[in-house]
Amino acid sequence: MEYVSRMEDTHQVIVVGAGFAGLTAAKELGRKGVDVLLIDANSYHQFQPLLYQVATSQIGVSAIARPLRSIFRRIRRVKVTTANVAAVDVAKRTVTTDDGDTLQAQTLVIAVGAVPNFFNTPGAEEHAFPLYSVTDATRLGSSLTRLLDQADREPSGSVDMVVVGGGPTGVETAGALAENIKFVVTKFFSPELADRCRVHLVDMVPSVLNTFSSKSQDYTRRRLARIGVQMHMGVGVTEVRPDGVTLADGTDIPSRLVVWAGGLKAGNLIANSGLAQGKGGRIDVRPDLTAPDVDGVYVIGDAANITDSTGAKLPQLGSVAQQAGKWAARNIHADINGGTRQAFHYFDKGYMAMIGRGAAVAEIGRKRIQLQGSLAFVSWLLVHLALLSGFQQKVRALFSWLNGYIIHSPAQVVVGAPE
Ligand SMILES: Cc1cc2nc3c(=O)[nH]c(=O)nc-3n(C[C@H](O)[C@H](O)[C@H](O)COP(=O)(O)OP(=O)(O)OC[C@H]3O[C@@H](n4cnc5c(N)ncnc54)[C@H](O)[C@@H]3O)c2cc1C
């Protein structure tokens, strides 16, 4: 309340969430001369695609988290504030922070991303580590370090780790864990401890990287097997315990660390917004990215079910979020200037996944030009370097990769509260 009276007026646009979608929308609007208040629970933008590298000590937090005030220092039209938004009223276009401040917008952009979906699997929320934020990544990383330290003090016994979810996040995490064992544990702990470590990858669908071509899937399976990942495909996880997981076919995998990369859903802010929820609890937005049944509200990124010009649902990807952010900004600019909103058109650049050193798969563009191996690996590094926000962040990532991939050193100490 105090904040409203200090600001005295309604904000032209309030953007909630500074991930790929909200950040891009705010930048674009600011550059077009629109006044924006950008609110995020964190004071930084986090680059989710590299969270697994933070968790496995390949790069540091400072390479993937960039202060929002630094990003917007030259875009004066955008004011940044750090606050957790506790509620939105889409009819009134207000947001209420958990400090109790209520802020009014002429146009509201909801870009709050998603939260892990544990699909009501018993024990998963309590005992598995999700990987969706910097906090998640540092928690996982410090627990992994502690597990290896503990195991190093023990004379024998296997050290099993389970990754649930065979999509890109799960594959990249399992690959990074296996390579950590092969190179870092062998070199910095002992070859004996490395021999005792095992990484399991579990998914209820029959193949890894379900949305990729069968050629990419075969390559990924072979590469993961070569670096020692044990795959349990076509069987779901029915329970997660502190000492392991149970699969639907009755198999028990003893495990001292479980990573959950099993799916996403919209969070509570969306669930309590009063907007009708579609698949994954997300909002089925109209083709122009506005929320149905209300005026002046856009929902973009992972919080929305977005369709392309053919009506097909688009996946929850950084590229979709980024392009939707830019498109929403254009439509808001058109709203303000009496123009006409346009239906979102997605430029499909394809997708890629890293498996490990020198190994990745990429399917580029609408035609899905397929790359595997070192060419895909270099493409993956270059694309992620280009996408990272900030020159310093790019330099840090590049040096960490050179350090990790050439001399196999853990580039970073992960700081976080161990579980
Ligand atoms: C581990 C991982 C790897 C991935 N790899 C890739 C990849 O290689 N390529 C790719 O294209 N995509 C990848 N993705 C997907 C991509 O990161 C997401 O699609 C994208 O980040 C979605 O952007 P967003 O802006 O909708 O949400 P997010 O990036 O999640 O941003 C949401 C923002 O909202 C803020 N927020 C949430 N709730 C509140 C609240 N109540 N109050 C205030 N602020 C709030 C959060 O702090 C966050 O900053 C990956 C995702 C993960 C998790």
| Model pLDDT for residues 350-363, shown as the tens digit of each residue | 999 999 999 999 99
Q: CB of 26 closer than 6 A to ligand 1?
A: no
Q: Which secondary structure element, helix H or strand E, spans residue 407, and what is its range?
A: helix 391-407
| Average pLDDT of the chain to the nearest whole number | 93
| Contact between residue 139 and residue 127 where contact means Cβ atoms under 8 Å apart | no
Q: Residue 354 in 3-state DSSP?
A: strand
- Cα atoms in the Cβ-side hemisphere of radius 13 Å centred on 56: 28
DSSP string, 178-236: HHIIIIIIIIII-HHHHHHEEEEEEESSSSSSTTS-HHHHHHHHHHHHHTTEEEEES--
Q: CB of 30 closer than 6 A to ligand 1?
A: no
Per-residue pLDDT, averaged over 409-416, amounts to: 57
pLDDT at 405: 80
Give the confidence band of 311 by pLDDT, cuts at 50, 70, 90.
confident
Give the confidence band of 410 by pLDDT, cuts at 50, 70, 90.
low
pLDDT at 404: 80
CA-proximal residue: ligand 1, atom 35 (nearest): 17
Q: CB of 115 closer than 6 A to ligand 1?
A: no
**pLDDT tens per residue across span 201-234:** 999 999 999 999 999 999 999 999 999 999 999 9
The answer on pLDDT for 79 being more than 90 is yes
| Contact between residue 111 and residue 283 where contact means Cβ atoms under 8 Å apart | no
Ligand 1 centre to CA of 305 (Å) is 14
Per-residue pLDDT, averaged over 329-349, amounts to: 96
Q: CB of 298 closer than 6 A to ligand 1?
A: no
pLDDT at 2: 38
Q: CB of 51 closer than 6 A to ligand 1?
A: yes
Ligand 1 centre to CA of 173 (Å) is 17
Ligand 1 centre to CA of 317 (Å) is 8
Ligand 1 centre to CA of 5 (Å) is 32
The rounded percent of the chain whose pLDDT value lies above 90 is: 88
**pLDDT tens per residue across span 90-110:** 999 999 999 999 999 999 999
Give the confidence band of 126 by pLDDT, cuts at 50, 70, 90.
very high
The answer on pLDDT for 5 being more than 80 is no
The pTM of the full predicted model, rounded to 2 decimals, is 0.93
Q: CB of 387 closer than 6 A to ligand 1?
A: no
| Contact between residue 16 and residue 111 where contact means Cβ atoms under 8 Å apart | yes
Ligand 1 centre to CA of 92 (Å) is 26
DSSP secondary structure code for residue 105 in this structure: E
| Beta-sheet strands, E only, within 236-314 | 237-241, 244-247, 252-254, 257-260, 264-265, 283-284, 297-299, 304-305
Of 9, 29, 14, residue with least CA distance to 109? 14
The answer on pLDDT for 266 being more than 50 is yes
Per-residue pLDDT, averaged over 121-142, amounts to: 96
**Catalytic residues, which ones?**
172
- Cα atoms in the Cβ-side hemisphere of radius 13 Å centred on 182: 18
pLDDT at 366: 83
The answer on pLDDT for 180 being more than 50 is yes
**Which domains, ranges and CATH numbers included, belong to the chain?**
2-41+83-114+266-336 (3.50.50.60), 124-264+350-407 (3.50.50.100)
CA-proximal residue: ligand 1, atom 47 (nearest): 41
The answer on pLDDT for 16 being more than 70 is yes
Q: Which secondary structure element, helix H or strand E, spans residue 147, and what is its range?
A: helix 134-153
pLDDT at 411: 56
pLDDT at 222: 97
Per-residue pLDDT, averaged over 111-127, amounts to: 97
Return the amino acid letter for 312: A
Q: Which is the closest atom of ligand 1 to the Cα of 112?
A: 34
pLDDT at 1: 36
Q: CB of 132 closer than 6 A to ligand 1?
A: yes
**pLDDT tens per residue across span 379-394:** 999 999 999 989 999 9
Ligand 1 mutation target, pool 82, 112, 377, most atoms within 8 A of CB:
112
Ligand 1 centre to CA of 191 (Å) is 37
Give the confidence band of 416 by pLDDT, cuts at 50, 70, 90.
low
Per-residue pLDDT, averaged over 397-419, amounts to: 70
pLDDT at 198: 97
Rounded CA gap, 276 and 195, in Å?
51
Q: CB of 17 closer than 6 A to ligand 1?
A: yes
